[in-house]
Homo-oligomer: A and B are copies of this chain.
Amino acid sequence: MIIQKVSDAVSIKRSVESGTEEQRSVVKAIIDDVRTRGDEAVKEYTEKFDRTSLSSYLVSAEEVEEAYERVDAELVDIIREAAANIQSFHEKQLHNSWMTTEKNGTILGQKITPLDSVGVYVPGGLAAYPSSVLMNVLPAKVAGVERIVMVSPPGQNGKLPAAVLVAAKEAGVKEIYKVGGAQAIAALAYGTDTIKPVDKIVGPGNIYVALAKREVFGDVDIDMIAGPSEIAILADSTARANEVAADLLSQAEHDERACSVLVTTSETLAEEVASEVLRQLEELPRKEIASKSIQDFGAIYVANSMDEAINTINQLAPEHLEIIVENAMGYIGQIKHAGAIFIGRFSPEPVGDYFAGPNHVLPTNGTARFSSPLNVEDFQKKSSLIVYSEQALRENKDKIAAFARLEGLEAHARAVEERFKS
């Protein structure tokens, strides 16, 4: 890793994938086809892309039961404890509906209502991602969403990974379909005979899933389109190079396009981390991915002061931020933009990926400037409540009518005045 001055940090490379023209048109064709032919199209695309032929997409109670037999009891307990932590943290995000009352009879308020139904996409591929199930399902459950549907592409054996099914059951999902790709997103957005449509679709997926979500957005809501994972570590001379290096690599192993950055006030640490990264890299099973990521998107920046370092962090607006400096808590107030902030050397980022409770679905690619971690409010919506009494309207009718006429909207003024005509 090349060590640079912090002044170069503003130009940090990050990677956004918006898909090729061909990918976009493939996705659009699949969506149109599922809208037209429904289950029949879903079946064909599953056979084509997932190379499995299923008589039913719905995961049966037996399949879920059987999954428990295929997962270590100890791992089931860990999934349960993680689920409890995640549920507990998200319950603290709940807000009440509220209202204010005035003596003239006016009531104003905000009513909070859960979404009716949500679809959660869980990616397939070689590994199983039970943490993704927990992180996407539990906020919806805590929000009060009645119908939570999970979809995930089946393996060639026609099954879903056991750990995914266990996590789904532990999170309270009762409706799971073995469907993936753009065809799953289309089925969730527009419905088929088998899969009723939902109001919102969340969860990560490959480029086809991401493009499909973008395509159906507006007809249903979606969560953010996630880019490659990122970490920025803010460290001073009190940080240990082996720990910092390990944390940088834990992001790098995710994806060749993952971005791992150290910003430090210590030149010594910078040098030590650079060589530690190379040393630890050699021993990683996902060495190839991590090397490419570090080479293309890794960086170490040396700052002259903590102010300069923090300024750089705010410009990056990283998905994950670790602060490993003396008196770390004292700097939180200066951090403006970060998806999740991990404080101190005993809070490595994987603590948040799996276990602590806050959501691991976080804004990437600098969107922490304006976006938040996935949370309970993403599965609820507000309705304003307005109650004017006769007295309240009488007191204000002339002002409201005058404002309406200022904007050239006569019928608005008359609607108010109609109440006091006779």
Which residues of A come within 8 Å of B, CB atoms? 16, 74-75, 78-79, 81-82, 89, 92-93, 95, 98, 100, 106-108, 110-111, 113, 115-116, 126-131, 163, 199-200, 218, 220-221, 225, 242-243, 246-247, 249-250, 252-254, 280, 284-286, 290, 329, 332, 335-359, 362-363, 367-373, 375, 377, 381-390, 392-393, 396, 399-404, 406-416, 418-419, 421
Cα A369 to Cα B392 in complex, Å, equals 30
Contacting pair B388 A341 (CB below 8 A) = no
Q: A131-B407, A409-B254 are in contact. Are A415 and B383 (CB under 8 A)?
A: no
Cα A409 to Cα B126 in complex, Å, equals 12
Contacting pair B253 A411 (CB below 8 A) = yes
* A80 CB to nearest chain B CB (Å): 11
Taking CB atoms, residues of chain B closer than 8 Å to A221 are 367, 370-371
- How many copies the complex holds: the figure is 2
* A5 CB to nearest chain B CB (Å): 24
From B355, B375, B406, contact of A130 by CB (8 A): B406
Contacting pair B411 A78 (CB below 8 A) = no
Taking CB atoms, residues of chain B closer than 8 Å to A363 are 381
Q: A115-B370, A286-B411, A341-B111 are in contact. Are A386 and B350 (CB under 8 A)?
A: no
* A18 CB to nearest chain B CB (Å): 8
Taking CB atoms, residues of chain B closer than 8 Å to A108 are 89, 356-358
16 CB < 8 A contacts A-B: A74-B402, A79-B403, A107-B343, A108-B358, A127-B407, A199-B369, A199-B370, A250-B415, A284-B414, A337-B383, A342-B386, A344-B388, A346-B388, A347-B387, A350-B401, A355-B399
Contacting pair B386 A381 (CB below 8 A) = no
Contacting pair B415 A384 (CB below 8 A) = no
* A214 CB to nearest chain B CB (Å): 9
Q: A218-B225, A243-B419, A421-B242 are in contact. Are A393 and B128 (CB under 8 A)?
A: no
Taking CB atoms, residues of chain B closer than 8 Å to A75 are 402-403, 406
Taking CB atoms, residues of chain B closer than 8 Å to A129 are 407
List 4 A-B pairs, minimum CB-CB distance, nearest first: A358-B384, A221-B370, A372-B382, A127-B408
Q: A128-B406, A347-B388 are in contact. Are A412 and B353 (CB under 8 A)?
A: yes
* A67 CB to nearest chain B CB (Å): 13
Taking CB atoms, residues of chain B closer than 8 Å to A200 are 370
Q: A381-B368, A421-B242 are in contact. Are A346 and B393 (CB under 8 A)?
A: yes
- What is the chain B residue whose CB lies nearest that of A343? B387
Taking CB atoms, residues of chain B closer than 8 Å to A370 are 115, 199-200, 220-221, 381
Contacting pair B246 A351 (CB below 8 A) = no
- What is the chain B residue whose CB lies nearest that of A422? B242
* A205 CB to nearest chain B CB (Å): 16
Contacting pair A116 B415 (CB below 8 A) = no
Cα A329 to Cα B98 in complex, Å, equals 14
From B126, B338, B344, B384, contact of A408 by CB (8 A): B126
Q: A332-B111, A386-B351, A407-B129 are in contact. Are A253 and B412 (CB under 8 A)?
A: yes
Contacting pair B290 A411 (CB below 8 A) = yes
